[in-house]
Amino acid sequence: MGSEGNFSAKGNQHRLIANRLESRAFARRCIHTRESIPHVAWRACGAGLPGPAVGPLESAPVIFLHRKKASCKSAGTTCKLISMPELPDIAAYITALEPRILAQPLERVRLASPFLLRTAQPPLANAEGCVVRKLRRIGKRIVIGLEGDLWLALHLMIAGRLHWRPPMSKLTGRHSLAAFDFPSGSLVLSEAGTKHRASLHVFAGEEGLSSVDPGGIDIFTSDLSSFRDALTAENHTLKRALTDPRLLSGIGNAFSDEILHAAKLSPVTLTHRLKPHEWESLFAATRSTLGLWIDRLRAEAEAAFPEKVTAFRKEMAVHGRYGQPCLTCGERIQRIRYADNETNYCAQCQTGGKVLADRGLSRLLGSDWPRTLEELEALRRPYK
């Protein structure tokens, strides 16, 4: 059927989809439709023209947008989005910092960006000359305890990273935000991108730290009952519950994917629907997965300072491995795309072979969205 036929069929559905496409957010999500639209139709999309509906899309009105350059760099089939350091990454940073700054005086703090410091009292200058007494973690923050009951709380957010440099190293480049100078070297904080979200808080007294504590429980100090109570306080998907800092401490997008794959549970299963044996599996998987990665990253940090903290590691089972074979069953890893990140899962291991809706793309395709792995593979075959 030609393009005119496509645009005349199902006029009401056409208008509904067109209205949705006027939304910027929806248009951005449509950038990633290439993997499901046959090649001939995508070539028309590249020219910003209506194209023929071919193969499984033939029965639906096809609407194409001018293709925009994706906002993330892709390697192979995986979109390498920047991810926030999580509990194992923070544990690795603390392991690397302990032999370098514990019992050492903080000689000077240099700020290249005034937006990094989020507190006015006590003054940051009060920390200079104080000896580091303790290092700890609160959620995804690194907390440095100084003599005189002063505390520095660093939140790296998504793009913030720490680097160990020679003493009094210059802050070069627009990504360097601050330097903490010690006798043996300088701890430099950098943040990629233009959205400066990393933060530094200064507190007098340990009680002030409660203001930056989201309140999530520590998986290694809790039992199954408290774990289940925390996640069932509200009825959310497992993915959302695991990454909520008010419920669990330090878990983000990357390791929640790994936990759910290890537990063989769907990321969209609601917490109130889990059975007792599934709670046991999820609790055990959360502990074992985080414990494994904490030990692994700490061992690396003992050998060298962790300069390249990333959520995409070749040893991971599903996260960052979209389109690659599952290490357990061999089926291709699937994904649910969002604006700034994605959920990776194995349909065979976690959802009983069901392909989960990809939000914007599944709305666009409507009834043509593949529901099973078999339908997805059929969609990928060249249409004759």
- Residues 114, 31: Cα–Cα separation, whole Å: 36
Contact 143, 137 (CB under 8 A): yes
Domains and CATH numbers, the chain: 3-71+354-380 (no CATH), 102-212 (3.20.190.10), 224-350 (1.10.8.50)
Q: How many CB atoms lie within 10 A of CB 380?
A: 13
Dihedral angle at the C-alpha atoms of 227, 229, 235, 239, nearest 10 degrees? Answer: -10
pLDDT single digits (tens) 190-203:
998 778 889 999 99
Token duo for residue 96: 């690397």
Could you tell me whether strands 185-191 and 141-146 are parallel, antiparallel, or unpaired per DSSP bridges?
Answer: unpaired
Higher pLDDT pick, 329 / 45: 329
DSSP state of 218: P
pTM of the model: 0.74
pLDDT single digits (tens) 34-71:
444 333 333 333 333 333 333 333 333 333 343 343 34
pLDDT single digits (tens) 163-214:
999 999 999 888 899 999 999 999 999 998 778 889 999 999 888 898 999 9
Give the mean pLDDT of 308-326.
Answer: 88
For residues 76-86, one letter each, b for 16 or more C-beta atoms within 10 angstroms of the residue's C-beta and e for the rest, the string is: eebbebbbbbb
Residue 45 in 3-state DSSP? helix
Dihedral angle at the C-alpha atoms of 141, 136, 316, 34, nearest 10 degrees? Answer: 0
The per-residue pLDDT for 192 is 86
Token duo for residue 217: 């429980």
302 has pLDDT over 50: yes
Lowest-pLDDT choice from 35-39, 143-147, 283-287, 315-319: 35-39
Give the mean pLDDT of 268-287.
Answer: 96
- Residues 103, 83: Cα–Cα separation, whole Å: 32
- Computed over every residue of the chain, the mean pLDDT equals 79
